[in-house]
Amino acid sequence: MHTCLLVIDAQQSFVHRPYFDASRAARYLQAQNALIRGCAAAGVPLLRVLHSDGPAREDNPFAHCSGHVRPIDGLMDFEPAAQFVKSRHSALGGTGLDVWLVRHGMRRVIVSGIRTEQCCETTTRHASDLGWEVDFVSPATLTFDMDIPGDGSLAADDIVQRTEVVLRGRFANICTVDEALSHIG
């Protein structure tokens, strides 16, 4: 097996952000869980990446002491082949993930998690630049509407579309859950 699944920042911290959208999160979790289930059934290593940064205070949901740097409620329980904690956008930035991928002979990574245009996209670009083939599973990523300074907001669906456009064919294969699972064999 030369493929692994990255579950990036699928953590409770986001529930405590003012922009969190529970209905989008429910759709994301359905796709994320289907991807985890399918990869686990195929024997694909599941890798968990969590994000922790900012001041070490209980009111910072990304600080370990907050208790929120843990899997998001609703994410199916799985035993990761490895777990990494990052403080940067890319899961490959100073975490040792790249070493794990090389040591285990990985040639392809499947990217999923939270936030589509931030940590998932950044990890995708980084992995591609380092030579891995990447499947970016948009339905198994989650993002939220974003404010445009002085000019309204940008809808989460538009952010996802933009991310797919800039990654497609240059940095990643843009996939549905079923398409990503079909690439495993």
Nearest in space to 33 (alpha carbons), one of 172, 142, 143, 124: 142
Q: How many domains does the chain have?
A: 1
Domain of residue 95 covers 3-184
Question: What is the model's pLDDT at position 124?
Answer: 98
Question: What is the model's pLDDT at position 185?
Answer: 67
β-partners of residue 11 are 71
Q: What is the pLDDT of residues 144-180, one digit of tens each?
A: 999 999 889 999 999 999 999 999 999 999 999 999 9
CB atoms within 10 A of CB 133: 16
The mean pLDDT of 71-95, rounded to a whole number, is: 98
> The domain that contains 175 carries what CATH number?
3.40.50.850
Q: Which helix (H) or strand (E) holds 22?
A: helix 22-41
* Helix/strand/coil for 37: helix
Q: What is the pLDDT of residues 36-78, one digit of tens each?
A: 999 999 999 999 999 999 999 999 899 999 999 999 999 999 9
Q: What is the pTM of this model?
A: 0.97
